[in-house]
Structure 1
Amino acid sequence: MSASVVPSTLQVDYDNNITDLYNAITQSKWEDAVRAAKENPDEAKTWVVRHYEGNNGGEKEIMWRFLPIHSACARQPPASVITALLEAYPDGAKCVDDQGMYALHYACGNQATREVIRLLLMAYPDAAKKKDPRGMLPIHYIACWGPSSISVVDMVLVANRDVADARDEDGNTALDLAKDGEYPERDAVVAALRRWLDNNNGTSRSFTKPNRTLSSVEEKKDDADYNMYPMPRSTTNSSSTQFHHNHYLDKITQLEERIKELENESKQDKYIINELRGQLKRQEGDADLSRQQYNHACDERDGLRQTLADLTEQHDKFKKRSEILSDRLGSMNASLLTMMEQQDVVLSAMKAREEQWEALSDLRRGKLKELVSLEEQETVEEVELRSCLMKQTKEMEAIKAVIAAPSRRNDPEPTRQQPSKKTTSTPAPCTTQGLLVGFGVVLPLTLLIPYHAINEFDIRNLGFRLAWVSLPMTMILRTFEAVFGFTSPQHSRSLWSFVRHTGFVLRPHYTDKGGTKAATLSSVSQILKEYLFWVAFLAVAYHCFASANFCPLTRLVGTEFESSRIVYWDAPHIYDIFLQACLMNVTLSLSMTGASALGSLLTGVQMDDKVTQYPMFLSESVSDFWGRRWNNLIHVALKQGVYKPVRHATQSKSLASLAAFVVSGLCHEYVWMMLYFPTSAQLAAENGNESTCCLSCYCQSWTGKQLIFFGWNGVLVALEYLLGDQVSRYSQCLPRVMRSHLIVLLALPVGHLFTYDITHAGYFDHLTAAVPAISVTGTPSRRLSTSDPSLLSTAIGLLALSGTFAEKDELPYDNRQLLGLRGGIEGSLISSGTGRSQTASEIPVANITIPLHFHSGSHHAHMYIGSPPQRQTLIIDTGSKAMAFPCKTCKKCSACCGNHASPYFDPEVSTTHRVSKCGSCLLEGISSCSLFSDLCTFSQKYTEGSSWTATEVEDVVWLGTPDVVESLEDHMGTLAIPYSFGCQTSSKGLFRKQYADGILGLSIHDSSLIRALYLEGLIPRNAFSLCFTHVGGHLSLGGSLPVPTQYMGGMTTTPITHEHGYYSVEVVSLSIGEKIIISKDLYSDLLDDMNSGKGCIFDSGTTDSFFPSSLRKVVGDAVMAYSSSLTDFSTNMRRHTYTFEAFQRLPSLTIGFANNANLTILPDHYMEGVPVDASTGRAEVWEKSIPLTNRIYLDEARGTVLGANAMYGHDIVFDVQGHQIGIATANCHSNTISSQL
């Protein structure tokens, strides 16, 4: 009779708050699971539930619901785990999950050990006769999948022998299932089940036996035995009888006394015997101890003899090895003589290559002189000349690397070659000649020019004043930058290029090749959206603050601002400082985005408008605020012109930071003095007396407030550098909100020194006249009319006028030439990054194809990095952006980054290696400046929990084959380019355990390797294709597979639908076999689920394919109908045994895309474990039954992921330039692909 169990009501969500016990079980960390069960017993009775979104966006439904003991039994746990779980929750063995199964079902179906089965049966014996929803008992699971040992069968049947001949819903007994099983112990299981069935039949016949009755003879015997005992007879009470009676009594008394004496003697004898036995035992113990000591001595003797024998054997081996080494030494001497002879040949070849290098150098110098002479003319010839010089430079670097490689290989005692120094630390040629002389004399005078210009021309516009004041300051900073050699080469080719670099705060985006980045209509519209957002934000803020008479915007005329109220920490005014700083930051963003949009529209070149990159209210430290959250333009200028020179001279971060802040304070003092001083015309208009300052809004004197404010912050930053470790620890302990408030508190003592002059001078009142929206929404200024000119109002007019220059048709706008700039500096105005200006023309054939190899569920390519080259094995991943792998700079090496297919990349060996520093990060949108160092860093996290962190570096890279010599000879000259990637410094999860060294990201991004190859002219198109097989495949660069004869059909294309970097396409239908089950007319809501989120993406880095969970019922019913109930793609039917005939009944899945493109996924590809013919890629015929696993999952919340198994048997072209995906059925296994390249 089964016990009634009240199930536990404790429940947690798998995706949000999974328990430590269940997490340890899912990762098979059994020791952690035992520890968690003992420390938190309640977790053993806590149900773990996973949900999925219901149909039509309804409430979430339960996907599964398990106890920890259910999940553990499904993973072949050790007996200690089950013991701990049952001790924590004994009734766990009696609980049924949402699938109607007990823990014993999972244990029997997953070949659990005999001890685990015994523990579950002891906890709940009746589980042996409990059926699951399909009518299967635990003995059926054992018969179907096999036991861990034959004794498990007997153990389950002993618990309940009646289950031996029980049948499931299909009418199969355990013996029937065992006969169809495919596991080594099948025959033994069949024999055991037959033996139990036969024993059950024999026992039932022997149960009925005749009742035993007593015979008459036996009855007489019993009577005779009864009569053997005489009954006493009564006698008369005579004297003789009395005498005898007394005599007997005396005898009895004597006998009793004698018995007592004997008993006493017996006790004494027993005591003596016990003492003797104790002595005997002690003697036996001493004898055993002596015997053990003797045996131990014998063992030591034998050990010494064996050690002597081993030493003798080792001596003989060493003697033989010494003889072998002597022979090898002689042969090495002979080889050394041969190598010396070969070295002469190599040196002669090196000399010839050096002569070739010198010739290229001379040619480059001549081209450089020609380029300098054409400096003033922005022509197409200049661009072609620059690209030619860059190619020649790369050829020279490649020749250097090849020259270094033979010498390193043929040198009998190689020495480590030190990395070459960076050329960016050398001052530019123009700096050393005329730059210092020209600017050194003029610079002191430039600070007086704005004063005379503003006073002479009566400039009242704050924007024009700011422009006049900023120009000499930027020139001073740029001059210091050039003096110390921190000016980039493209800005120091001549004096005119340096002046342009100096005078303009807004600078174009520069590419890796030194050219400017063409603006796109999408980028310009994005800047305009940001500009309008800031206008609206300021209008609303000004209206709210002015209506409430709030301090940041209110300054009564003739009333001094009471700064003492801030000193006394009056609550309303504490936040005034912070709000004023926020409004200034927004105003800067507003003005710079407007100017950037105007410059992009007029020139066709994308401008750098990033005044701030991150919200200032999320600052985590003082250096974080000033480094990337407040006016990055002046930050970059101060870093190049002050911070780096001072640090170069003093080798101190703290002194360099303090110097930068002091210079910034002086610059701000100069700005406010020039920005708000009254001109002669203003004073005359006020009261006719120039000596009296009556315009309070323009009265400003040298007070030193700005210098104190910035000096205070410079001290805070310097202290942060000095206390780096302590600041790092506090940053990790305190929440972000507390850190941000702490930054505000540190700025409060001197914050009013920065904001007081701005508010008192009427800065925000003047803002109402600058933007009409603020004037209408907010409170008009008391002093300035809306007709007063300002830089922002002028910019709005120019933007409205320049809007007519932009035509709606993108193709004619691509050829515009505005302000002397041509639209083809790096490409068209619509850059090749998006590819929308390119027509979806016929995809060209790739000019290079690289072989791939398959291992551990992923496809890999061989990448060669550095000079001399070092090989790394990388996963081909179309869902990632960057390339990264472990370097020898990885913390604790194998402990943090794991062991992989290749040794760690050693940057110190490569002569072309370069580390990217802050201010020159090349992976735009991926890497950023580190908070506590001057390096560019980035990281990546994945949904399963793995992650890695890397430092951005640059080196020469190229794709090759496993053969190093072939890769050097055939691929280095055609594919080697300088490229930025990540040196992993730490990793967690699967990245530490995987076979591959790292990852090669091929998603849509400006920093992708494919785009870099295309820009260098090495491939014909910004495109590539993947042709996957079960053993490898091919990666074709520049287009489709170069052997079209391998195609089994024509190639169709479908457009890329999203702009998020993934290869996303639109799904229009889904078919099972030949039947369409989902389309725009049939279950259109399910079609929306497939296209929602990121959409339907091609991700080669994912092994399996994933579809939305809302498709489960429709797809399951269609598959069941097609395969005659063989499978339904559900979790319960994921792993199953198939004969070849049953396998052929499985359906194919066809996904229809826009533009009539189709992708068919065959059972050969989505079923794991299928034996495949290496020449055709199709399934081979097999005998009997084999277990196969379905790798198509219907559990995504939204969107579709087509992994590597969906790409098998197709040539998938990722045409970034054409903004399309090409699909063609192909034989990717053919060996003729490599032979025809």
Structure 2
Amino acid sequence: MNSLIAFFFLSQSFLLSISLFLFQFHLAAAQSLRKAKYEYQSTPTVTLALADADADADATDEILEPPAQVQVAVPKTSLSVPLFQSHNSYHVNMYIGSPPQRRLVIVDTGSRYLVFPCKPCRNCGKQHFSNDYFDPNISSTDVSNQCVNTSGSGSSSWIYNVRTGINTNTETDVDTNINIDIQQCTFQTSSRQQEVCDPRTGMCQFRQNYAEGSSISGYEMEDIVWFGTDNEEESMKIHMQYAVPLSFGCQTVETGMIARQFADGIIGLVEHDGNAVLDMMHDAGVIDHRAFSLCLSKKGGFLSLGGTALLNDDENENVAAAAAGTRHRHLETMQMEPLLKGSKYYAVQVEAVFLGELEIATKAEVANAFHSNKKGAVIDSGSTDSYLPKDLRDHFASAWMNHHKSVNNSGGGNTDLHQTYTNKMESYTREAFQKLPNLTIVLKSGYKWVIEPFSYMEEVRSNGSKVESSSASASDPINYTSDWPAGTETAPLLFINRLYWDEPSGGVFGSNAMVNHDILFDLENGTIGFAKANCN
């Protein structure tokens, strides 16, 4: 693996207060701990379901039975950065290179890599947040990931004839033969070696296709990266000390929805053989634990690196403080659930599903729908909506109708709820909306994950476009379950139900299911923590 050159950057207004010696030590330590490469996998983002998880479902022969719940200390951290909600996604600011270039990227717990457009880009979108594409030539610390094997050894090596362009296993023309080793490449997006390595430039290439037709392709680079805020000076002074070297994808082509998205790119937070940003931060001593948490609100939230950012060590005090209105606190004690064995994603086991007080199906039916193909329920912050097993659709629709019939028959005001479950646009008065039921997902170790109508119902305009939460008159987004936009208390609003019961197997809980929860991804212990929280 190529080493990064010594970092040096002098601001005209201030000298960075970071020890060059310590920073170089962090870079060397992190790179020396880099492990074996891996096969590239990803998931569609924005409003797309997890498209390629089914292809990975048979990656293990283990029985889909999580280990018994083990009580472990909840890892805590003081390192948090803000998240921003816009265009149906949650974004974080990342800084790359020296001098740094800021990119606004989607936080995605359903994919593995950091990718964004770079110069020169032959076919990239023009609607991204940043005005210019990332320019590797500006950075003094960037290197390209090379796939030329100078030793010529190793089972992954193959020989390419530069003159003829033909792969060969002979070395009869040593002057025009070069040795290629795709194990030097981080993003092995293809089993075809010619598509992983460009033998003429020696650079690692990648390409990823998405289910709905989008695609990205480009080459690999490595540079220093860190999480920050939208304030560049603050991010340089405070957050740059947490920088680590990381391989990322420089996109030179993007098509479809990826080209039209608001974000500059994606930061994947799924663990993959020691090469994820979290692993690099831990190996460099930047964070104490291989863990992170996401606390999402309708308008943003925060990402905590190294654990969860509790304001004190007493969970009971956190709950009490939150009840008293203090921000960034848990509303309940965090409960840990085991991650599914063998899954390449953050997946949990679902035991039961309730709509209001109604259990929509038997536990056997729920288990079969979520786990028949060993997929489970994937928690994917990069998907806007939630996609649940189609085998449970009729059960959910029946429970929806029974609940609404019961509410309508009880009388007591204008509560004529729509009895047929649909993902089409419907109008609701304030009184009717407040009668909608919670969806409760009961997990393996007993945690009851409550998804409120405020989260799964999305207010839209008459043309179907989302009403952004930032348009609310209050500083915090409106919780339609208890509030209603000022001046429209008696008028109906339009909503779309964003629970889609159409997944062939398993399920994907997107960011709408994560709202108002602090969700801890504890990679060290193979667990995931849940706590209802104030994330505004």
The two structures share one fold, judged by TM-score above 0.5:
yes
The superposition leaves residues 591-644 of structure 1 with CA deviations (integer Å, 9 ceiling, x where unpaired) of xxxxxxxxxxxxxxx9x9x9xx9xxxxxxxxxxxxxxxxxxxxxxxxxxxxxxx
Instruction: Give the conservation status (yes or no) of the 8 Å contact 2:217–2:252.
Output: yes
| Alpha-carbon spacing, 1:1129–1:950, altered in 2? closer, same or farther (3 Å) | farther
Out of 1089, 1095, 1099, the residue aligned to residue 369 of structure 2 is 1089
Q: Where does residue 495 of structure 2 map in the other structure? A: 1188
Correspondence for 1:961: 229
1:855 offset after TM fit, Å? 0.8
Q: How many residues align?
A: 412
Percent of residue pairs bearing the same amino acid type: 38
Query: Does 2:526 match 1:1225?
Result: no
Q: What is the SS of the residue equivalent to 1:1115?
A: helix
Aligned to 2:398: 1117
Distance 1:1138 1:913, change over 3 A: same
| Counterpart for residue 127 of structure 2 | 899
Q: 3-state SS of the aligned residue for 1:1123?
A: helix
- Unaligned runs of 5+ residues in structure 2 are 16-27, 40-66, 150-182, 312-317, 322-328, 409-416, 460-466
Secondary structure, counterpart of 1:1155 in structure 2: coil
Q: Given the superposition, is the C-alpha separation of residues 1072 and 514 from structure 1 closer, same or farther in structure 2, using an over 3 Å criterion?
A: same
- Please give the residue correspondences for 1:128-143 in structure 2 after superposition, counting only pairs within 5 Å: none
2:294/2:519 contact within 8 Å kept: yes
Measured in 2, the distance between the counterparts of 1:1038 and 1:516 equals 19
CA RMSD of aligned residues (A): 3.0
Partner of 2:350: 1067
Query: 1:1029–1:1177: 8 Å Cα contact kept in structure 2?
Result: no
Task: Work out the CA distance in 1 between the residues paired with 2:228 and 2:357.
Answer: 41
Give runs of aligned pairs for residues 696-1095 of structure 1, distance below 5 A. 841-891=72-122, 895-902=123-130, 903-918=132-147, 919=149, 921=184, 923=186, 929-933=196-200, 934-973=202-241, 975-1006=242-273, 1007-1043=275-311, 1044=318, 1045=321, 1046-1080=329-363, 1084-1093=364-373, 1094-1095=375-376
- Quote the Cα distance in structure 1 between the aligned partners of 2:139 and 2:34: 30
Aligned with 2:445: secondary structure? Answer: helix
C-alpha contact (below 8 Å) 1:1041/1:1211 kept by paired residues: no
Change beyond 3 A, Cα 1:840–1:1000: farther
Whether the aligned pair in 2 keeps the contact of 1:1177 and 1:1227 (CA below 8 Å) is no
Paired position in structure 1 for 2:428: 1138
How many angstroms apart in 2 are the aligned matches of 1:515 and 1:877?
24
Which residue matches 2:169? none
The 1:408–1:916 alpha-carbon spacing in structure 2 relative to 1, beyond 3 Å, is farther
1:1178 alignment counterpart: 479
Aligned-residue offset at 1:924: 6.5
Q: Write the distance in 2 (CA, Å) between the matches of 1:512 and 1:967.
A: 21
Q: Distance in 1 between matches of 2:276 and 2:362?
A: 35
SS in 1 for 2:216: strand
Counterpart of 1:1069, as a letter, is A
What letter matches 1:1098 in structure 2? Answer: I
- Displacement of 1:922: 5.2
Query: For residues 1074 and 863 of structure 1, do their structure 2 counterparts lie closer, same or farther at Cα, with a shift above 3 Å needed?
Result: same
Q: 1:192-234 CA distances to partner (integer Å, 9 max, x unpaired)?
A: xxxxxxxxxxxxxxxxxxxxxxxxxxxxxxxxxxxxxxxxxxx
- Give the partner amino acid of 1:1166: Y
* Whole-angstrom CA distance in 1 between matches of 2:231 and 2:517: 26
1:1102 maps to amino acid: S
Question: Paired residue for 1:779?
Answer: none
Contact 2:217/2:253 (8 A) holds in 1:
yes
TM-superposed CA distance for 1:407, in Å, is: 8.3
Q: CA-to-partner distance for each residue in 1:1062-1085, whole Å, 9 max, x for gaps?
A: 0011000101112323342xxx13
Q: CA deviation at 1:1087?
A: 2.6
8 Å contact 1:887–1:905 — kept in the other structure? Answer: yes
Aligned partners of 1:952 and 1:407: how far apart in 2?
33
Distance 2:348 2:418 in 1: 29
Q: How does 1:313-352 map to 2 (within 5 A)?
A: none
- Structure 1 position 1024, deviation (Å): 0.5
Structure 2 CA distance for partners of 1:840 and 1:1013, relative to 1, 3 Å: farther
Separation of aligned partners in 2, 1:1041 and 1:1147: 31
The structural deviation recorded for 1:986 is 0.4
CA contact (8 A) 1:1004 1:1063 kept: no
Paired residue for 1:406? 12
Q: 1:921 & 1:1068 partners in 2: Cα distance?
A: 42
Indicate yes or no: 2:443 matched with 1:1162: no
Deviations 1:1045-1078 (A, max 9, x none): 4111111111111323200110001011123233
Aligned counterparts of 2:425 and 2:209: Cα–Cα separation in 1: 30
Instruction: Summarize the Cα distance change of 1:911–1:1151 in structure 2 as closer, same or farther, 3 Å threshold.
Output: same
1:514 maps to amino acid: S
The residue type equivalent to 1:1085 in the other structure is E
Q: Which amino acid aligns with 1:1017?
A: G
- Larger strand proportion of the pair: 2
Is 1:840–1:1219's contact at 8 Å kept on the other side of the alignment? Answer: no
Work out whether residues 142 and 223 of structure 2, in 8 Å CA contact, stay in contact via their aligned partners in 1. Answer: yes
If asked which structure has higher relative contact order (CA below 8 Å, sep 6+), I would say 2
Residue 749 (structure 1) aligns with: none
Conservation of the 8 A alpha-carbon contact between 2:146 and 2:185: no
Matched, 1:1101 2:332: no
Q: Which whole-Å deviations, capped at 9, do the CAs of 1:525-548 have from their partners, x for residues lacking one? A: xxxxxxxxxxxxxxxxxxxxxxxx
* C-alpha distance in 1 between matches for 2:220 and 2:448: 40
Distance in 1 of aligned mates of 2:249 and 2:438: 40
Q: What SS is found at the alignment partner of 1:896?
A: coil
Task: Using the TM superposition, give the Cα deviation of residue 1157 of structure 1 relative to its aligned residue in structure 2, in angstroms.
Answer: 1.5
**Partner Cα distance (2:403, 2:308) in 1:** 35
d(CA) in 2 for partners of 1:994, 1:516: 32
Classify the secondary structure of the residue corresponding to 1:900.
coil
Quickly say closer, same or farther: Cα 1:968–1:1088, change in 2 above 3 A. Answer: same
Which of 8, 32, 35 matches 1:514? 32
8 Å CA contact retained: 2:30, 2:284: no
* 3-state SS, counterpart of residue 138 of structure 2: coil
Q: Confirm or deny: 8 A CA contact 2:30 2:283 kept in the other structure.
A: no
* Partner Cα distance (1:854, 1:516) in 2: 33
Post-superposition Cα deviations, 1:270-291, rounded to whole Å, max 9, x if no partner, equal xxxxxxxxxxxxxxxxxxxxxx
C-alpha deviation, 1:1123, in angstroms: 2.2
- Deviation digits for residues 699-751 of structure 1 (CA, Å, limit 9, x no counterpart): xxxxxxxxxxxxxxxxxxxxxxxxxxxxxxxxxxxxxxxxxxxxxxxxxxxxx
For 1:22-101, what aligned pairs fall within 5 Å after superposition?
A: none
Q: Secondary structure at the match of 2:121?
A: coil
1:537-584 deviation per Cα after TM superposition (whole angstroms, max 9, x unaligned): xxxxxxxxxxxxxxxxxxxxxxxxxxxxxxxxxxxxxxxxxxxxxxxx
Report deviation, 1:1086: 3.6
- SS of 2:258 mapped into structure 1: helix
Distance 1:922-1:976 versus aligned 2 partners, 3 A rule = farther
Instruction: Assess if the C-alpha contact under 8 Å between 1:1070 and 1:1076 holds in 2.
Output: yes
Give the letter aligned to residue 1088 of structure 1. N
Bigger-Rg structure (1/2): 1
> 2 CA distance for matches of 1:1110 and 1:1008?
35
Counterpart AA for 2:418: T
Q: 1:1135 to 1:909 in 2, by over 3 A?
A: same
Aligned pair in 2 of structure 1 residues 993, 1129: CA closer, same or farther (>3 Å)? farther
**Separation in 1 of the partners of 2:185 and 2:265?**
20
Give deviations 1:1175-1211, integer Å, cap 9, x for gaps.
Answer: 4763222331111111111111111110000000100
